[in-house]
Structure 1
Amino acid sequence: MSSDTLLARLHTFHPKLIDLSLGRTERLLAALGSPHLKLPPVLHVAGTNGKGSTVAHLRAMLEAGGKRVQTYTSPHLVRFHERIRLSGGLISEARLVDILTRCEAVNAGQPITFFEITTVAGFLAFAEDEADYCIVEVGLGGRYDSTNVLERKLATLITPIGLDHQNFLGDSLAGIAGEKAGIIRPGTPAFSAAQAPEALAVIEAEAAGADAPLKVAGRDWKAAADGDGWTFADAAGELRLPVPALAGAHQIGNAALALAALRSLGIAPSQDRIEAALKTVTWPARLQPIIRGPLLDLLATGTRLWLDGGHNPHAAEALAQALAGRKLDLVVGMLEGKDAAEYLRLMAPVTASVKTVPIDGEACHDPENLAELARRVGLKAQAFPEVQSALSACSADEVLICGSLYLAGQVLNASGMIPE
């Protein structure tokens, strides 16, 4: 039986895709012998934007220092296997089928969401794999996210917090921060990226209540672009480093959060290894260049094609800053429930035109409605039935496909650039 068949079946065990709770996850873990208690030291990462990039920087630095690292991330872009990285690479098909089969059998048809049972599967795979560290990305929120069954953590990290998933987390930064900060554990070191004052106040209160030592960007470490590189400074001293291989000035903040945590914990590699990690770190669909494939062939020779999966206003703000001074044609598709109007408003300064598209197989903003939202913020916009026809209509020197990780996954698949 293939993993695709198993995964499709796991979607049927609960009527809701998202039902934030820990009870069902705890039940299944207990029935499997509590594999989540047998993991290597865990770095738990929550936040609105930058979680995946921070995980990528943590892994790159630790692996550059010779450590064996596991990661759990979501969602996947092309293949589910991307979510579970063992010490030797992405989980194999045979191993994935094995752990999914065992989880399904022990669950015995009881209600459990897809994310909950696959998180359990990830923890089972990690417990049976030898590694030095395990890096776990929160799926949604934090306090009631399935990954938060983890009690024994080496550290918790919180990336920048913004408005997203308001139907689950609330519509205020303070409320959302409260959910993200729920991953903090008593006495366990916590690290936070720069935050809006109302979000930081909540994080500080949560850490104080748990007697968890908290370090914050701008206060306990500083990072700033410096010529063709950047500088990082904390209590241990200052480093001059190359810019991360991941594009965009905001990646300096993500790299700095990872580095601050590793240095404070005493597990950062030497400077030359940190530099090597920054030069080679990868994380797909974050201002990623599309360098081959049939989609690129639809554009005029020499046109640069970019892909970004950011899908909320906070992500748009960082993306617009990274592209400042340029004018690109945007090919945009967004899921229902996303604040498309604010996303487009923030992207307007770097936009020459907008081509809107649907996202295959997903509940998304209607392209015509999305184009109208773009026009309301003063942008030239037109709806198209698919990405290919939208790209064929682009005329700018640079084109960005953006607005959704699901759309990004479809683009990577069509381009033959499957994450490894």
Structure 2
Amino acid sequence: MNAQLGDDVNTWKPALGCHAVGALNDNGIRLLTFCLAHDLIVGSSLFPHKNIHKLTWNSPDVLKQQKKQLKFNSSNLSNRDILASFNATIGGKFNILAELDDTSDINKEWANFTDTVNSAAREHLGYRKGKQEEWISSESRDLISRRKRAKPSLGSDYQELNRQTRASLRNDKKAWRASQIRDVNGNIIKDEAARLQRWSEYFKGLLNADEPEETIDFSVFTQAEELNINMDPPVREEVDKALGLLKRNKAPGVDNITPEILKDGGDVIREWLLRICQHVWKNEVTPAEWGKGIILPLPKKGDLSYCSNNRGITLIDIAGKVFSTILLQRVKDEVDLKMRDNQAGFRKGRSCQDQIFSLNQIIEKCLDQQLPASLISLTSRLLLTQCTCPPCGKFSASMEYLPR
């Protein structure tokens, strides 16, 4: 109501007590007039309280209000009735839209897809329950549970637990605030907008590399052999296989569509997703939103108030992962045939364990036999030479950069 009552007790007695705050405004006059006409009393003005406990306030600037991405409760799709209504809502929208042709806008089509899925999910699935505050420690959670069990008695035990719980929560909050992000000068950043700006600056500097000083002349390389890869537009079987490879309980991207919605959403969602993938394939243009991601910092070691002690992961749209999986399934078998046998990393059914074991054995034998050993890194032009001195048996290593 934004009503401020003022402190003119004599004029508005008995509706107003002596502990009201603020300057009387128009809404306050209306409220007090209503109370006098109906023999009502503003109870908050009868007792002494802190001013912050007497007033409530919401910022009129919605841009300053913290926004949190809510996740849909995808587990409701296991209910057949909810799944049927969810599919009916999406199917009705899908049938209304005109057939997508090669000249239509892929961004508009993607926006129709995400809007329809999100609208149907809000209506039929709802949102997951929010998690507890991250700054509350396990000790405080234990005290909260004990206080809850002791509350019915309201005895001395409850009062002591209540005091301990509130003190523990205050300490947790202080410790959490003390671990907030620092700026480049090492000062704690208290403003939320400034913290987000600091994260943005850090990840921009970390992920955006400078232009290379030396460029590669690809004309000197011989033309590679053409691979026998299927170049036809994606089909329904490929979309189904890609969706089957998606892992559940993964965070969504900017579109807020979880893997469970695409996997369990029914045939209508799969057909619509197939149509989008075919359009991307034919026109070689992806939706602009597929190029966006949500970067989340995850703590490593050390003082977490420094951005460098956190690593970032990027959450991208799940539909973009589906299209990437289709491409990967088409090329991986052909590319695997062209790889050397000693290439073990990032290959199906193989790992680098054998190479690591062989390298370890070579180094151990060189140490036992007091022979020099050299390791060349082709990616960084680094030559690492290690040897043992026969007279004294000491181990030494040297490192140098090789010319291109």
Higher relative contact order (CA 8 A, sep 6+): 1
Q: TM-score range by the shorter chain?
A: under 0.3
Query: What is the TM-score with the length of structure 2 in the denominator?
Result: 0.21
TM-score normalised by L of structure 1:
0.20
Q: Relative to total residues, which structure has the larger helix share, 1 or 2?
A: 2
